[in-house]
A and B are shown apart, each in its own frame.
Chain A
Amino acid sequence: GQSLEQPSEVTAVEGAIVQINCTYQTSGFYGLSWYQQHDGGAPTFLSYNALDGLEETGRFSSFLSRSDSYGYLLLQELQMKDSASYFCAVLYSSASKIIFGSGTRLSIRP
């Protein structure tokens, strides 16, 4: 089947940098997305990578390596409001739908 793997929890310090990794099955891969979800809220779209390389949007960056079936979300200058769950999501061309990972809960300490 099609599955994604990401760490279940990550802890970091305010002001620091944190990287959340995501690995996926290669067959039929089309693109990798990242979503943020605060407790009790809805997922919100952060970024999308279809090609290898780094995409930067303010303090957040997303990276993709298709040859390694691997991507990551990089959060810089962490703020307390960044405490949330982060989901990677993959579109497989054979499925015509997006599959989400189980999410990484990011906790930030002062």
Chain B
Amino acid sequence: DAGITQSPRYKITETGRQVTLMCHQTWSHSYMFWYRQDLGHGLRLIYYSAAADITDKGEVPDGYVVSRSKTENFPLTLESATRSQTSVYFCASSESISDSAEGYTFGSGTRLTVV
């Protein structure tokens, strides 16, 4: 099925563990993004990628690592999870950075709890 999928949908992990959130899109969009959403903060950009092997930091990159070896995949890794990283994580994709007529398409999100 065409679209953008995130996995897992829910994840509980312990402080200090490494955890990877997956994002896969089938449109071959050039741009992919990772946002986190917390109450009172809206959506904050963690990392984004303009193409395979090209990534850049967003507003809140500390504690996260990304890679993009293939156009369709953009995994987000928390190297050593902390409680402050408890959040809902959204992946998004777009053909254009300018978010023109189509806008960004978001995945369903991953609700991560760090205990």
- A contact residues vs B (CB 8 Å cutoff): 30-31, 33, 35, 41-46, 48, 50, 87, 89, 91, 96-103
- Tell me if B107 and A102 are in contact (CB < 8 A): no
Residues of chain B with a CB closer than 8 A to A30's CB: 98
The interface bits of chain B over 94-115 (1 if a CB of A lies within 8 angstroms of the residue's CB, else 0) are 0001111111111111000000
- Tell me if B108 and A42 are in contact (CB < 8 A): yes
- Tell me if A42 and B100 are in contact (CB < 8 A): no
Number of interface residues of B (CB under 8 A): 26
A33-B99, A97-B33 are known; give 5 further A-B pairs, CB within 8 A. Answer: A42-B109, A48-B99, A97-B48, A100-B44, A101-B42
Q: Given contacts A97-B45, A99-B45, A100-B42, are A45 and B102 in contact (CB under 8 A)? A: yes
- Tell me if A42 and B42 are in contact (CB < 8 A): no
A-B contact pairs, 12 of them (CB 8 A): A35-B104, A42-B90, A48-B100, A48-B101, A89-B99, A91-B97, A91-B98, A96-B97, A97-B45, A97-B97, A100-B42, A101-B42
- Tell me if B59 and A99 are in contact (CB < 8 A): yes
Look across to chain B and name the residue whose beta carbon is closest to the beta carbon of A32: B99
Partner of B43, one of A31, A41, A91, A100: A100
- Tell me if A48 and B45 are in contact (CB < 8 A): no
- Tell me if B43 and A87 are in contact (CB < 8 A): yes
Nearest-Cβ distance from residue A3 to partner chain B, whole angstroms: 11
Interface centre among B42, B107, B108 (most CB of A within 10 A): B42
Look across to chain B and name the residue whose beta carbon is closest to the beta carbon of A30: B98
Nearest-Cβ distance from residue A38 to partner chain B, whole angstroms: 12
Q: Given contacts A87-B42, A103-B42, are A98 and B99 in contact (CB under 8 A)? A: yes
Nearest-Cβ distance from residue B66 to partner chain A, whole angstroms: 14
Residues of chain A with a CB closer than 8 A to B106's CB: 42-44
Interface centre among B40, B43, B97, B104 (most CB of A within 10 A): B43
